């Protein structure tokens, strides 16, 4: 057994773990990240990238926002498509000047990886059998195997940033955890293509054939989704079938303007809402997907992960610098308040935009009436806009 020590052991080198490590470094706090996969695998995951200002501010504070500012696409509005027409929600006006930035999560992860490597901070990739230990006591540790050698990383605190399927939440006694979940009866079939986006802003479409979303990664790379049955297989969707279905769910002008091309990535993702409470167990803190999942409709996943680690990094800095545990002791409660507001918005937007098995004719009319009210009501549009651009980290 090879022993080492650090102040904060971070399990998981996704956006949450990497951003936490960067924010801790800025506060002079040492961390080691232990990641089960390779850097290439982590970067290979295609995920949404609609960044709230809170997330942009945290990336700036971490020193990882240069490329984001150079290549990110500021978006001041979003369009809702229903009844054969598009309606723009002017988020910038409705929120007194706020906007989101479209910048792929893969790029956020890449920027954070480059920053960490340049700072010479320790990240153990391809770690096997990672286990958090002793987090209910004063000297926790993370054990793992690397190249056949057993390691024990002693630390003051463990941050479980290992995602929904990670080991951290699973290591908490079931009696200490309460979970809340809703699984949606459909999936999203997503396509990435080297084609110019159909519009300069995102289009969310409610159609009787099902939901569709037009998004982008840059001005030359587009990301599209159509709602599909949970038991659909990606192999059964040819590119032509996808483009035809997407066109059928858009308004005529967008369908006409759509530039199609070969898919460079095609996948089906399930949708779920999930929250584990609390998010702290002794000296183990859960952050990001390890603690909560949102359906992608509201593009909140990355933003919630960033908010969690923003609060956690401040709490740990308070512990080490001011010798105060007030932030640590209130971490879970403060995170969960923001998490549940995002869960509500993501659930509401998913319920409004998708065709459910029991939607039926009445349900379709109700959705249409709500959308009609929403795009013609300043109050309702403002409510959507302020949730979409992101609520304050603490309010």
Which residues are known to be catalytic?
75, 204, 296, 300, 388
- We find the least distance from the C-beta atom of residue 187 to ligand APR, in angstroms, to be 14
Q: Which two tokens stand for residue 157?
A: 């605190």
Query: By CB under 6 A, is residue 305 in contact with ligand APR?
Result: yes
Residue that the structure tokens 């996704």 belong to: 14
Query: By CB under 6 A, is residue 343 in contact with ligand APR?
Result: no
**Of 204 and 331, which CB lies nearer to ligand PHB in the complex structure?**
204
Query: By CB under 6 A, is residue 91 in contact with ligand APR?
Result: no
Identified binder of ligand PHB from the candidate list 15, 187, 296, 327, rule CB under 6 A: 296
142-146 CB contacts, 8 Å cutoff, 24+ apart: 142/9, 142/11, 142/34, 144/34
Across the beta sheet with 178-193, the strand order is: 85-89, 78-82, 203-205, 212-216, 222-228, 178-193, 263-277, 292-293
Cα–Cα dist 157/27, whole Å: 15
**Of 156 and 201, which CB lies nearer to ligand PHB in the complex structure?**
201
CB atoms within 10 A of CB 344: 14
Return phi, psi of residue 260, to 5°.
-100, 165
Cα–Cα dist 107/205, whole Å: 26
**Of 36 and 215, which CB lies nearer to ligand APR in the complex structure?**
36
Largest Cα separation within the chain, whole Å, is: 65
Query: By CB under 6 A, is residue 271 in contact with ligand APR?
Result: no
Residue that the structure tokens 């910038």 belong to: 92
Residue that the structure tokens 């969960």 belong to: 336
Query: By CB under 6 A, is residue 132 in contact with ligand APR?
Result: no
Identified binder of ligand APR from the candidate list 64, 130, 254, 328, rule CB under 6 A: 130
- We find the least distance from the C-beta atom of residue 117 to ligand APR, in angstroms, to be 16
- We find the least distance from the C-beta atom of residue 172 to ligand PHB, in angstroms, to be 29
Identified binder of ligand APR from the candidate list 32, 35, 201, 228, rule CB under 6 A: 35
Contact residues: ligand APR, CB under 6 A: 11-17, 34-37, 42, 47, 105, 127, 130, 161-163, 166-167, 288-289, 301-302, 305
Contact residues: ligand PHB, CB under 6 A: 48, 50, 202, 213, 215, 223, 296-297, 299
């Amino acid at each position: 057994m090879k022993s080492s020590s650090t102040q904060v052991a971070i399990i998981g080198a996704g956006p949450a773990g990497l951003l936490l490590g960067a924010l801790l470094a800025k506060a002079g706090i040492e961390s080691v990240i232990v990641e089960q996969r390779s850097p290439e695998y982590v970067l290979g995951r295609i995920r949404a990238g609609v960044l709230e200002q809170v997330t942009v501010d945290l990336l700036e504070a971490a020193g990882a926002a240069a490329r984001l500012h150079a290549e990110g696409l500021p978006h001041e509005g979003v369009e809702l498509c229903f009844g054969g027409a598009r309606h723009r929600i002017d988020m910038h006006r409705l929120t007194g000047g706020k906007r989101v930035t479209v910048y792929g999560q893969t790029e956020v992860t890449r920027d954070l990886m480059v920053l960490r490597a340049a700072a010479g901070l320790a990240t153990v990739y391809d770690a096997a059998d990672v286990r958090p230990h002793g987090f209910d006591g004063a000297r926790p540790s993370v054990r793992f195997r690397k190249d056949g050698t057993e390691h024990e990383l002693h630390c003051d605190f463990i941050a479980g940033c290992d995602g929904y399927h990670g080991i951290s939440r699973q290591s908490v006694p079931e009696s200490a955890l309460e979970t809340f979940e809703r699984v949606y009866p459909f999936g999203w079939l997503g396509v990435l293509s080297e084609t110019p986006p159909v519009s300069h802003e995102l289009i969310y479409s409610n159609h009787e054939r099902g939901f569709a979303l037009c998004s982008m990664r840059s001005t030359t790379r587009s990301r599209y989704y159509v709602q599909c049955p949970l038991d659909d297989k990606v192999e059964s969707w040819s590119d032509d079938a996808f483009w035809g279905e997407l066109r059928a769910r858009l308004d005529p002008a967008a369908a006409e303007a759509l530039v199609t091309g070969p898919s460079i990535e095609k996948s089906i993702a399930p949708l779920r809402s999930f929250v584990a409470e609390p998010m702290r167990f002794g000296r183990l803190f859960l952050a990001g997907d390890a603690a909560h999942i949102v359906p992608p409709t509201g593009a909140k996943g990355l933003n919630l992960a960033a908010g969690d680690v923003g609060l956690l990094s401040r709490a740990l800095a308070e512990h080490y610098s001011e010798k105060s545990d007030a932030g640590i002791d209130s971490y879970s409660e403060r995170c969960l308040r923001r998490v549940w507001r995002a869960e509500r918005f993501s659930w509401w937007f998913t319920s409004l935009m998708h065709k459910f098995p029991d939607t039926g004719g009445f349900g379709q009319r109700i959705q249409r009436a709500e959308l009609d009210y929403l795009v013609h009501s300043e109050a309702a549009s403002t409510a959507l806009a302020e949730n979409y651009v992101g609520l304050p980290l603490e309010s």
